[in-house]
């Protein structure tokens, strides 16, 4: 029993460290932005997918969950916080659907395996990213009204950047997956 306890403590410490560092990376990626209305363009989707690929779904989802809890609790971790508000009021604003989509995207990205070929990885990353946009657009339309050009406001300006982010991840995926061994 003592031997098992000693073997798992370093793994728990590594996992907790990965969760905290991942949350910090996600916060930094939220602050690297190109302002758009009503949703800013950031590097968050890249980091969300990276976290899923590199950490697996358990630690990846814990990381995204910590990030969301930090933001809901009022820490200025989200893209336009604190300037556009903090806490639950910011979370339930125009970006809430996208933020919730981070969870599904991270989970789906974690399903990428080392053995997957180029097109399988590409497909999985496109599906993962699509869930961010589907949930984001559903919430955005509900919030600002379906009479507004939802696709033009909440997706179209970001598509080229998403293609570039996905392309980078597809090229690096085999190296990124190797990080899982250390956690």
pLDDT over 60 at 6, yes or no = no
Are the C-beta atoms of residues 154 and 136 closer than 8 Å to each other? yes
Please indicate whether residue 11 or residue 1 has the higher confidence score (pLDDT).
11
Are the C-beta atoms of residues 132 and 101 closer than 8 Å to each other? yes
Are the C-beta atoms of residues 52 and 166 closer than 8 Å to each other? no
Q: How far apart are CA 41 and CA 24, in angstroms?
A: 18
Number of domains the chain is built from = 1
pLDDT over 90 at 163, yes or no = yes
pLDDT average, residue stretch 38-56: 90
Three-state SS letters, 42-91: ECHHHHHHHHHHHHHHHHHHHHHHHHHHHHHCCCCCCCCCCCCCCHHHHH
Strand-pair category, 41-42 with 33-34: antiparallel
Please indicate whether residue 38 or residue 124 has the higher confidence score (pLDDT).
124
Q: What is the pLDDT of residue 1?
A: 46
60-109 pLDDT per residue, tens: 999 999 999 999 999 999 988 888 888 999 999 999 999 999 999 999 99
**CATH number of the domain within which 59 lies:** 1.10.1760.20
Q: For residue 130, what are the domain limits? A: 2-182
pLDDT average, residue stretch 6-31: 91
* pTM, 2 dp: 0.91
């Amino acid at each position: 029993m003592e031997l098992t306890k000693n073997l798992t403590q370093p793994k728990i410490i590594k996992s907790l460290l990965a969760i905290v560092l991942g949350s910090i990376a996600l916060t930094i990626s939220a602050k690297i932005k190109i302002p758009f209305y009503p949703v800013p363009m950031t590097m968050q989707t890249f980091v969300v997918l990276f976290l899923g690929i590199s950490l697996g779904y358990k630690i990846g989802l814990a990381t995204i969950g910590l990030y969301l809890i930090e933001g809901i609790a009022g820490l200025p971790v989200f893209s336009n916080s604190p300037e556009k508000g903090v806490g639950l009021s910011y979370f339930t604003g125009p970006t809430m659907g996208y933020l919730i989509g981070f969870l599904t995207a991270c989970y789906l990205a974690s399903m990428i395996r080392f053995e997957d070929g180029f097109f399988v990885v590409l497909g999985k990353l496109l599906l993962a990213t699509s869930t961010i946009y589907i949930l984001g657009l559903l919430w955005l339309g509900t919030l600002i009204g379906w009479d507004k050009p939802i696709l033009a406001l909440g997706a179209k300006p970001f598509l080229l950047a998403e293609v570039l982010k996905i392309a980078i991840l597809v090229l690096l995926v085999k190296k990124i997956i190797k990080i899982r061994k250390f956690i």
